[in-house]
Structure 1
Amino acid sequence: MILDQGYENAEPEYEYIGFSGIQMRRLPDNRGKAEPALYTFEDDKRGPFIRKPVSIFSLLLLCSLIMVKAAFVMTSVRCFSVCPDEWVAFQEKCYYFPIKTGNWGEVRSFCRWLGADLMIIDNKMEQDFLIYKMDSTKNLWIGLRYAEGVPGWQWVDGTELTFENWETPDNIQLTDKYNYKTHCVLTSDEASKGKWNNIPCDKLHLSVCERDKEVTCVLWSPLSPH
């Protein structure tokens, strides 16, 4: 048992008697009756070793809860590839058919204003899709041209032809006699099976714009109806 005497000038005076983990206090004029003070580990050497495991456990528990919540949110996110309103989806692309005519440069500028470009036809499936969607009386500008100083036909993204659907072989020869410096390409109506023809780029026609689908993600609840 350790006896600690209070300071001489302190009023009222207390005497503290320390036991392992328990403190008792006694007033000198109270006939020696002792009253238990607050239970504390302040003076107990075991105190820090008891509190430290509790703190580490609480921290680990908090980290675990955060990780579980993050994992739940991640597994509850569903992402979809979609097209904007009024656009037509096909495979991984979206297509828009403007109702105003223009020359090749004008309609391309309009497509780019929409965040798109003139359509690039890479395969027969895309060509068949376009034929299906076309009005039987319309021709449409596509994103193919032959410009002076450019080696051969090129799409608007700078790629070369991997699929061709010309009305006649080497269709560029049809307009060489007019000495046009730039040739742009139309895809023809359904009756012609979408065959391509090159004409001067300043002619007025309708067009078709193409862009990638947008990825949209939403939170999905496991309890929500499927």
Structure 2
Amino acid sequence: MASEITYAEVNFKNGSKSSGTNSASPAAPKERTTPHKSNPGFPKLLYPSLLILFLLLAISFCIAFIEKVWSCCPKNWRSFSSKCYFISTEAKSWHENEEDCSRMGAHLLVINTKDEQDFITQNLNERFAYFVGLSDPEGQRRWQWVDQTPYKESATFWHKGEPSDPKERCVMMNIRYSNWGWNDIRCDSLQMSVCEMMKIYL
């Protein structure tokens, strides 16, 4: 009796391993599972950059906060903008008043704007006159501020008809007809004064 060979058909779930027409299909899942890396260095640079930006913003905020909150004037001085002002209560000559201001780390008042002039005059006693830091040392009508600020005719507040006398080489503020203004006067006359200094920043 002849031997019979029985062939069984075996089906492989993973597909054929032969080098047939579908040989490329097994590689497809491997490609899909490979992570996509377009720029591996980007996250490493992003976080330090954001951290530096945050720190710079925090520092800027702190500086602005400190300048706004922790600027101050000495006791009995008045504050306006970035400056402090002290109004004297004792009449002295222009030079004596300037020396008193200097001892306090300040100088006689220098007026740069109408707002500053208005602020100062609102705090003065109408019964008195007050020296400011403007003078004509050589009597040539060449006015000079004590802090070397340039003298500008466009930012002056002379009373009508002033300055009037070359022998009067110092300047004071007083009131005429309900208006405060500047008047030239002898430097050895005795008047009150206003001292000025920059605000103290802590």
Q: TM-score, normalised by structure 2?
A: 0.62
Offset at 1:168? 2.5
Matched, 1:206 2:198: no
Distance in 2 separating the partners of 1:184 and 1:76:
44
Gap change, CA 1:121 and 1:76, over 3 Å in 2: closer
Distance in 1 separating the partners of 2:71 and 2:81:
10
Distance in 2 separating the partners of 1:105 and 1:199:
13
Offset at 1:130? 1.2
Distance in 2 separating the partners of 1:190 and 1:137:
11
Per-residue deviation, residues 33-66 of structure 1 (Å, max 9, x unmatched): xxxxxxxxxxxxxxxxxxxxxxxxxxxxxxxxxx
**Which residue does the alignment assign to 1:158?**
148
Matched, 1:184 2:170: yes
Gap change, CA 1:151 and 1:199, over 3 Å in 2: closer
Gap change, CA 1:190 and 1:199, over 3 Å in 2: closer
Distance in 1 separating the partners of 2:126 and 2:187:
22
Distance in 1 separating the partners of 2:82 and 2:176:
23
Offset at 1:194? 1.6
Per-residue deviation, residues 151-202 of structure 1 (Å, max 9, x unmatched): 7111101222231111125x23x213xxx2x600011137542210001100
Instruction: Could you tell me which runs of 5 or more consecutive residues in structure 2 were left unpaired when the two chains were aligned.
Output: 1-54
Q: Quick check: which one's strand share is greater?
A: 1
Per-residue deviation, residues 5-58 of structure 1 (Å, max 9, x unmatched): xxxxxxxxxxxxxxxxxxxxxxxxxxxxxxxxxxxxxxxxxxxxxxxxxxxxxx
**Which residue does the alignment assign to 1:125?**
115
RMSD: 2.6
Amino acid at match of 2:160: T
Gap change, CA 1:192 and 1:148, over 3 Å in 2: farther
Matched, 1:167 2:150: no
Amino acid at match of 1:112: S
Distance in 1 separating the partners of 2:72 and 2:96:
27
SS at match of 2:110: coil
1:132/1:190 contact within 8 Å kept = no
Distance in 2 separating the partners of 1:111 and 1:200:
19
Offset at 1:128? 0.6
Offset at 1:98? 1.5
SS at match of 1:143: strand
**Which residue does the alignment assign to 1:46?**
none
Per-residue deviation, residues 59-98 of structure 1 (Å, max 9, x unmatched): xxxxxxxxxxxx7xx7878622111111110111000012
Instruction: Could you tell me which runs of 5 or more consecutive residues in structure 1 were left unpaired when the two chains were aligned.
Output: 1-70, 217-226
Matched, 1:145 2:135: yes
Distance in 1 separating the partners of 2:150 and 2:184:
16
Offset at 1:111? 0.4
1:131/1:189 contact within 8 Å kept = no
Q: TM-score, normalised by structure 1?
A: 0.56
